[in-house]
Structure 1
Amino acid sequence: MKRILVCTDGSAYAQVCCQYAGWLAGRTGAEVEVLYVTDLRQFEVPLIADLSGSLGIQPYQAILGQLQELEEKKAALILENATKTVRDAGAAGEVSSVHKTGLLVDCLTDHEAGADVVLLGKRGENANFATEHLGSTMERVVRASSRPCLVTSRAFKPVTRLLVAYDGGPSGTKALDFLCASSAFRGLETHVVVVAGAMDADTSLRHLREAETKLSAAGIKPVCQMLHGTAEDQISSYVVANDVNLLLMGAYGHSRIRYLVIGSTTTEMIRTCRIPVLLFR
């Protein structure tokens, strides 16, 4: 791992995100880039339009300029605090920051190219108003990103025990390959689970042995377990029962249409598990 990209919006979740970035950078020696994107839409909201109609074009332009100036100051403070948090959490290499205006999903394309992993909080700056809902930006970023995405939780806790939820699919294989190749999680207790729900027991056992063989060849001795039931319930229970600090799994393996009809295992796991989730597309 050589480069970590952190997306921040100044929220409490973003603060924790920066702590995990520092922790990862401290273990790998990676450099960190912190990205803050001013949402272009905030200057196009109905309130601004109403002000323009009520005050006239010249006062409106003056107010808009003041709003943009305040946003610049806000961005500088957020990035300064985020950079300090990353360093305080253990990053010894270069820590840089950048401020963009637009939409995070669009800006991400330019900045994730050289990154090994992208970090973002599971909720954003309005988390306190919808405590049971995930940030809509988070899902869009994970779906759009070509890199592994670490979605962080509300509180920071150093990772000592991690879990790979493996289903034999391409994204699950990417998670195993990442784990084998990266030094980020070396020396940590590693668990692998396969949930025998839609799959029959023989297929599930074969997948479990595949994962064990691959990890063992990389010098990782995993604790392997086959579970029975629905993936969301079984994995969530396993995380709690075994005090797991990090979950690795494939992300959004089906179309958006299927997600709208029957929901998403990925979304449910991020929502219910109170630990960071490292997602692979």
Structure 2
Amino acid sequence: MKNILICTDGSSYSHEACLYGAWLSQQTQAAISVLYVTDLRQFEIPAVADFSGSLGIQPFEGMISQMHEVEEIKADFVQEHALKTLKDAGVDESQITFHHETGLLVEVMSDYADVADLVLLGKRGENVNFATEHLGSMLERVLRSVEQPCLVTNRQFKPISEVAIAYDGGTSCQKALDYIAANEPFRSMDLHLIVCVEGHKEEEATQRLQDAESKLQAAGLFPQCQILNGEVETAIANYVEQTKIDLLLLGAYGHSRIRELLIGSTTTELLRRCRVPVLCFR
């Protein structure tokens, strides 16, 4: 791990993402890039016209100019806060760069994520106090579009020592195993390898668990192995809470959009239920 990308919007969750980024940087000596994206949509004429029209203010161009000025002030504040958080957490200033872009986060991310080994972003954003049970509006789109592993951070930073891998045998979960084997910090952590059984497929789950365990053991890692029974989301969330897991790894959005529309997304539900950081692989 040489480069960490932290996405920030200045919210409390972004603050915690910076703390996790600082902690990981200290474990790996990775450089940190902090990215703040001004949402281009707030400057679009129809949105501004609706707002300004209700106040009887014209022309719209003057208002847009003022909005740009306010946004620049906010970006300076976000930069100052992020850099202070990282430096106070022990990251050397020479390892930190800050970037401010205007556009859509999902589109801007493609230019930055390609050179990152890990992307960090908060589970929720600026509207956290108004939508406490909802994920950030752009989170799912980012997770679906970025090929690099994405660490979705929670409300309060905690050093990571207990790690659970929710393994389903899919390609994305294979990536998770490879990532753990290749990154030194995981060797000092307690690993939990879990497979969830729904219905009557315990024999298949046992074989899947043994295959994953063998792969980790070949890399010198020796996880605790556990087969869980019941609904996947509930069983994994309960295990994370009861075992005091600090980080959950899983393959993200492995099913089709149609299936998820009909029965929901396991990834999204686990992000909602688990009050720990979730490292997602696609």
Fold-level match, TM-score > 0.5? yes
**Partner residue of 1:195?**
196
Aligned to 2:23: 23
- Superposition pairs of residues 1-281 of structure 1, within 5 angstroms: 1-44=1-44, 46=46, 48-50=48-50, 51=52, 54-57=56-59, 60-92=60-92, 94-197=95-198, 200-281=201-282
Gaps of 5+ in 1: none
| 1:164-214 per-position Cα deviation (integer Å, ceiling 9, x unaligned) | 000111011111110000123221111100111157111111111111111
Runs of 4 or more, structure 1, over 6 Å off, are: none
Percent sequence identity is 51
CA displacement at 1:158 relative to structure 2? 0.6
Runs of 5+ consecutive residues of structure 2 not aligned to the other structure: none
Label 1:152 to 1:43 Cα distance change in 2 as closer, same or farther (>3 A).
same
* Contact 1:163–1:248, Cα closer than 8 Å, also in 2: yes
How much does 1:153 deviate? Answer: 0.5
Change (3 A) 1:196 1:47: closer
* More deviation, 111-120/41-50: 41-50
Aligned AA (1:12) = S
Tell me by how many angstroms 1:61 deviates: 2.0
Q: Amino acid of the residue matched to residue 75 of structure 1?
A: A
Distance 1:45 1:223 in 2: 56
Cα deviation code 1:244-271 (max 9, x no counterpart) = 0000000001122221211011011000
1:207 alignment partner, SS class:
helix
| Cα RMSD for the two superposed structures | 1.5
